[in-house]
Amino acid sequence: MKSSTFALVCVVVAALVFAALRWYGNEYLFFAGYVVLQFIVLATAWNILGGYTGYVNFGSAAFFAVGAYSSIFFHKTFPLPIPVLIVIGGVFAGLVGLGMGYLTLRLRGAFFAIGTLALAVVLQTIITNWTYLGGSRGAYVIRPDEIALVGPYVQYLFLLMLGLAVIAIMVARGIEHSQLGYGFATIRDDELAAEASGVPTLKLKLIATTISGALMGMAGAPFPYYLGYVQPGTVFGLEYAVNSIAMPMIGGTTSWVGPLIGAILLASLQQWATVKFSSELGVLFVGVLLVVFVVLAPKGIVGLVEGWRRGKV
């Protein structure tokens, strides 16, 4: 499928989803749907680095938080419309991503993963002690109830996140089908051999960490407006780090479809568990599923389906 056709399909699907929810008319669905979409963006973004190049990032929450806190900063100093804040959050988180990319100069495998975790801790410490951004007490954002054209504010946020999810998926698919994706795969398989074949591995890794980080930051930028209150413990929470890894792993890391399936499945399951039981149980579900998949189906749902199809042929 050509990229333009694919983009059209994505937009049509997104429009149908929005129309269907509007028609159903339950405001809670937008509220829950926003979270699902946010995880589609996070999982897809994580996969661009973790799935395509094989560098595992444990610090997703930090990038999400950079996006969220850049919005807080501008909300306090110079209020801007949310789409602009999304771009700004993306730029900041992309820069942090670029910095993280330089870690890959010396760190590989588990050591890189630990490095990203350390990065998250450092950023959390900075934010917690930055009183202007609310420090450990957190920061409030008063948002309007309604917005022109769309109506209820939560629907507006939902729509923005829907757009971001479409962009993230198109970016991921675009990379996969391009020379860039080809180079990423060689890095995942064997970095030394990639260099010997002429692949500029450092440059490609920096591109991957920057795009991945920027998308995560973009997902975090509208978050303060969604919840109305942000504190470091929430946005740096384990939930984001674990989910952004678990969703692609469970869906399958080799293509853009995997994180999408994983995110829809797990985030919906979590939302359901949160309402029915408790949010802790939701995280437990993810943990158990992750263990099951890592042991039984390391290539995720996409891998299972591919194996099944190949078996039939």
Partner 1 sequence: MTAPLLEISGLGKRFGGFVALDGIDLAVAEGERVGLIGPNGSGKSTLVNCICGTLTNEVGSVRFAGESMSGLQAHQRTHRGLARSFQLPRPFTSLTVAGNLRVPLVYTVNARRGTHLSNAEMDARCAELLQLVGLAEKADHFSRDLTQVEMRKLELARAMAAEPKLLIADEAMAGLSQAEVADIVALLIDLNKRGITIILIEHIMRAVMSFSQRLVVLVSGKKIADGKPDVVIANPEVERAYLGQ
- Give whichever of 130 and 182 is closer to partner 1, judged by the CB atom: 182
Question: In angstroms, what is the minimal distance from the CB of 262 to partner 1?
Answer: 19
d(CA 149, CA 168): 25
Q: Which is nearer to partner 1, 181 or 232 (CB)?
A: 181
Give the total of residues touching partner 1 (CB under 8 A): 20
Shortest distance, position 207 Cβ to partner 1, whole Å: 14
Dist CA 255 CA 302 (whole Å): 8
254 near partner 1 (CB under 8 A): yes
Query: Sign of torsion, CA 133 214 52 119?
Result: negative
Q: Which is nearer to partner 1, 3 or 279 (CB)?
A: 3
Is 150 or 202 the residue whose CB approaches partner 1 more closely?
Answer: 202
Helix (H/G/I), strand (E/B), else coil: 256: coil
The interface with partner 1 within residues 166-225 (CB under 8 A) comprises 179, 182-183, 185-186, 188-190, 192-202
Q: What is the dihedral of CA 260, 26, 276, 229, to 10 degrees?
A: 80
Indicate the residue among 287 and 307 with the shorter CB distance to partner 1.
307
Alpha-carbon Rg for the chain in angstroms: 19
Shortest approach of partner 1 to residue 213 CB, angstroms? 23
CB 193, min distance to partner 1, A = 4
Gap between the Cα atoms of 50 and 30, Å rounded: 29
DSSP string, 161-217: HHHHHHHHHHHHHHHHTSHHHHHHHHHHH-HHHHHHTT--HHHHHHHHHHHHHHHHH
**Residues in the site for partner 1, rule: CB under 8 A?**
179, 182-183, 185-186, 188-190, 192-202, 254
